[in-house]
Structure 1
């Protein structure tokens, strides 16, 4: 069977029936771009925290990449970060929390998906002044079958275009410092690290103006 090529995929608007598929992509890319299935004891926890609220609360900026085997990736974003975080808290996480136990602050007692469950109960909602020139933010994740075909750049440029057309001045994103391929990808799209004492040590936030 021949490997898929660029023409085998199409980028389209995401819809609520895509929720199980985007959760699957989130899990299979949730370990710095690699499969997190064996690490997580709750296969939905990553999706609850990192992609579900975008699909539900920001449908104008939610897109999926569909291929021969179904949804193989997504690119999603939020136009106004502080507004989105307020709605995420009120309209999304407040409804998810009753279904998930809070593992508490002691990381030595965490296992499986406890780290995500803790984020769901105590989200950081990070938006210091250093990020205010870049009010939008976004996420992109592709399964291995969809990588290396040019769709990553095309899809993220599509999201940036949609955000800019809606009035955004720029966007930021968080990336694992260990995910060197992702860092190189964002650099090619014009993103650069944001250096600020206002951001957590050990993390990496990148941004660009439109």
Structure 2
């Protein structure tokens, strides 16, 4: 399956061979949409949390944007059943990853480099309260600068949502860094709305859309 997005860009299903590219894109967009390379001492850990497990656990809903000159330069990843996804990632992905990554402990003052990610691997934050139940799917989308400003992100996310809706998923939620105002505007244009609920973590922002 491949979708011609115009301008030489193609959306296709992600495979195991794309793991390095997924991790790289996640790193290059990991600081509220900006490059996080300067702050991380392990460039792979962000991707190990936010990108790679989606391709492994939900390969039917993992897609990359590719260009013949630029290679893989974006991705859109989804999980149709958030509750199930969190159970599986805990029992399989994180259980294995914890044998390779040491827990830096709870003292944030002592953390350096990618210690925040190491801590998160050992103590994941699974956010799926009742207010999100009407939107059981969740997803992630990130594009490198070369793929931005061309409408590719909207096309990719609409494609993912169509795949989810075709399987009778009722809605999707996306966690957004409140500082990433560009992302908030992007989701707003796609018909997402901010969810206001008492059971969401303080200071968080979740954008939701029903199908």
Rounded to whole Å, the distance in 1 between the matches of 2:80 and 2:167 is 8
Counterpart for residue 29 of structure 2: 29
Structure 2 residue 66 is matched with structure 1 residue 74:
no
Rounded to whole Å, the distance in 2 between the matches of 1:39 and 1:86 is 30
- Answer whether contact 1:61 1:78 (CA < 8 A) is retained: yes
Displacement of 1:128 in angstroms is 0.2
Counterpart for residue 187 of structure 1: 188
Rounded to whole Å, the distance in 1 between the matches of 2:187 and 2:181 is 10
Displacement of 1:166 in angstroms is 1.2
- Answer whether contact 1:102 1:121 (CA < 8 A) is retained: yes
Counterpart for residue 11 of structure 1: 11
Q: How many residues align?
A: 206
Structure 2 residue 130 is matched with structure 1 residue 92:
no
SS of 1:98's partner is: coil
Structure 2 residue 138 is matched with structure 1 residue 133:
no
Rounded to whole Å, the distance in 2 between the matches of 1:64 and 1:20 is 12
Rounded to whole Å, the distance in 2 between the matches of 1:59 and 1:205 is 24
SS of 1:38's partner is: helix
Structure 2 residue 203 is matched with structure 1 residue 202:
yes
Rounded to whole Å, the distance in 1 between the matches of 2:105 and 2:88 is 24
Displacement of 1:170 in angstroms is 0.1
SS of 1:119's partner is: helix
Residues 181-200 of structure 1: CA deviation (Å, up to 9, x unaligned): 00000001111111112111
* CA RMSD after TM alignment: 1.0
Q: TM-score, with normalisation over the residues of structure 2?
A: 0.96
Provide structure 2 residue ranges, at least 5 long, that are not aligned to the other structure.
none
Stretches of 4+ aligned residues off by more than 2 angstroms: none
Structure 2 residue 113 is matched with structure 1 residue 118:
no
Displacement of 1:6 in angstroms is 4.2
